Amino acid sequence: MAAGAAPVDDTDRAIVAALRVDGRMSVRALAEQVHISRANAYARLERLQRDGVITGFTVRVDPVRLGLMTSAYVSVSIEQGSWREVLAVLEQLPGVEKVALVGAEFDMLVEVRAHDNHELRDVVLEQIQAVPGVRATRTWLVFDEWST
């Protein structure tokens, strides 16, 4: 927890859980759902944002309806000490959804979405493998997925 940040309690966790389901929920509806006053809800939301617990609001999309018909997880092995530079490039590549630094036989796990397998091939073979510091990749094609 950041210095000076208030501890997160059960009400804060309920607020975060409610907003994860519907980030567009009004403060009034949020207050009703977690059984607090609107003033308390506003104050808690402001504090959760200020303390960095809530870092932003976003939209979830169905990638298939957006035309991203294929996806894969790509393991990336990198040169010793190059993770910051590799991460900076990977974050900018089109189709890269997430990058995780992991403790495994490889160094990074990258989630990639593409319109089709040809585009996926180009992202992996021409873009990710061309990043300075990348030694090797291995790709796992996703057949289906579910969100929790």
Residue pLDDT, tens place only, 9-28 = 999 999 999 999 999 999 99
Angle among Cα 131, 101, 85 to the nearest 5 degrees reads 35
State residue 3's pLDDT score. Answer: 65
- The C-alpha angle 101, 146, 108, rounded to 5 degrees, equals 10
Residue 60 pLDDT grade (very low, low, confident, very high; cuts 50, 70, 90): confident
| pLDDT, position 125 | 97
Q: How far apart are CA 144 and CA 142, in angstroms?
A: 6
Q: 58 pLDDT exceeds 90?
A: no
Tell me, what's the pLDDT at 9?
Answer: 96
Give residue 6's pLDDT.
Answer: 79
What is the distance between the terminal CA atoms of the chain, rounded to a whole angstrom?
Answer: 26
Question: Cα(134)–Cα(126) distance, rounded to whole angstroms?
Answer: 12
119 Cβ contact partners less than 8 Å away, ≥ 6 residues apart: 70, 95
pLDDT in tens, 112-135: 999 999 999 999 999 999 999 999
State residue 77's pLDDT score: 98
- The C-alpha atoms of residue 148 and residue 133 are separated, in whole angstroms, by 34
